[in-house]
Amino acid sequence: MRRIALINQKGGVGKTTITTNLGHALALAGHRVTVIDLDPQGQLASSYGIFRAPTKGVDQVLLNGADPCSVKLGIRDMLTLIPAGARLQEIEYLHDGGASRARLLQQALQGMIDDQAFVLFDCPPSSGLLVANAIFAADEALIPVSGDHMSLNGLAKMLVTIKKFEPYLEKSIRQWIGLNRSFPRRRLAKEVEDKLRKHFPEQLLNTQIREAAVIAECPGIGRTIFEYKPGSQSAKEFQALASELLERYEG
């Protein structure tokens, strides 16, 4: 089972969009996938067409020790969702438990979803306790970067955050960098890509997800790109992203 955190301290880089469509791409390829919404905004559920936000979700798992199976929802063939829940923001205000607060999710997931090939964590744009829980629970991090310098700053801060946790992880987190919302023909986007290839040649994924109106339209109707425009270039890109993550891991 692969546990991948979609993570970047900068907002607006498309973490939820990637989680939504990558999760469905992997499910369509025949893999059992669970997506977990760790962002208190709770937008992952609506991206899959659940517009009335579930009141219970991973918040109950982290705050009350609920069984994750009791709050997960089957949303597509081979794809299940653990939504955020109404109280997820309260995790950031926990004071009891010391360092163990960062391991709540890791402990909750032990033995829960062993039949899943992938677990994807959609993380908030922060470096707080929810992100710490994702880092401890994950084996891999996929860091989306858009084609601007502020996004590079977000990447740098995220890498520092992960490194800060490494002494306590008892494992190494495999890190991937994915260009998202990109405009390959723009000079600035090309500069960002060149810098990433220079400094992170092994981590940078070849597949880019380009900025496209069809991707922006999907959340409003609660469909993934494979349901809304299955023949589009964007659908092909997400399918390629899933394939590359499979190939890179096996390689």
pLDDT of 119: 96
Ranges of H-type helices in 1-128: 15-28, 43-47, 58-64, 104-109
* Whether the predicted model's global pTM rises above the 0.85 cut: yes
pLDDT of 59: 97
Give the highest mean pLDDT range of 8-12, 28-32, 99-103, 184-188: 28-32
Short-list 32, 97, 111, CA closest to 62: 97
Cα–Cα dist 134/114, whole Å: 17
pLDDT of 98: 64
| Domain range annotation of the chain | 2-250
Question: Can you tell me the mean pLDDT for 74-103?
Answer: 90
Question: Can you tell me the mean pLDDT for 81-101?
Answer: 88
Question: Can you tell me the mean pLDDT for 149-168?
Answer: 86
Question: Can you tell me the mean pLDDT for 193-221?
Answer: 94
Question: Can you tell me the mean pLDDT for 148-164?
Answer: 85
pLDDT of 171: 83
pLDDT band at 157 (very low <50, low <70, confident <90, very high): confident
Report the mean per-residue pLDDT for the chain: 92
Please answer whether residues 1 and 117 qualify as being in contact, where contact means their C-beta atoms are separated by less than 8 angstroms.
Answer: yes
Q: When comparing pLDDT for 156 and 230, which is higher? A: 230
Question: Can you tell me the mean pLDDT for 184-211?
Answer: 89
Q: When comparing pLDDT for 101 and 189, which is higher? A: 101
Residue that the structure tokens 């405009």 belong to:
183
pLDDT of 32: 96
Q: Which residues have CB under 8 Å from 82's CB, separation 6+?
A: 34, 35, 36, 37, 57, 58, 61, 68, 71, 72, 73
Cα–Cα dist 74/184, whole Å: 36
Gyration radius (Cα) of the chain, Å: 17
pLDDT of 209: 95
Q: Which residues have CB under 8 Å from 173's CB, separation 6+?
A: 135, 138, 139, 140, 141, 162, 166
Q: When comparing pLDDT for 229 and 147, which is higher? A: 229
pLDDT band at 97 (very low <50, low <70, confident <90, very high): low
Element (H, E) at 178: strand 174-182
Flag whether pLDDT at 83 surpasses 60: yes
| pLDDT tens, position by position, 20-64 | 999 999 999 999 999 999 999 999 999 999 999 899 999 999 999
Cα–Cα dist 69/82, whole Å: 9
pLDDT of 11: 84
Query: Computed from CA positions of residues 181, 187, 191, 197, in that sequence, does the dihedral angle turn out positive or negative?
Result: positive
CATH assignment of 2-250?
A: 3.40.50.300
pLDDT of 37: 98
Cα–Cα dist 135/171, whole Å: 11
Neighbours of 166 (CB within 10 A): 12
pLDDT band at 151 (very low <50, low <70, confident <90, very high): confident
Sheet architecture: strand order including 174-182:
73-76, 79-82, 33-37, 118-122, 2-6, 140-145, 174-182, 209-210
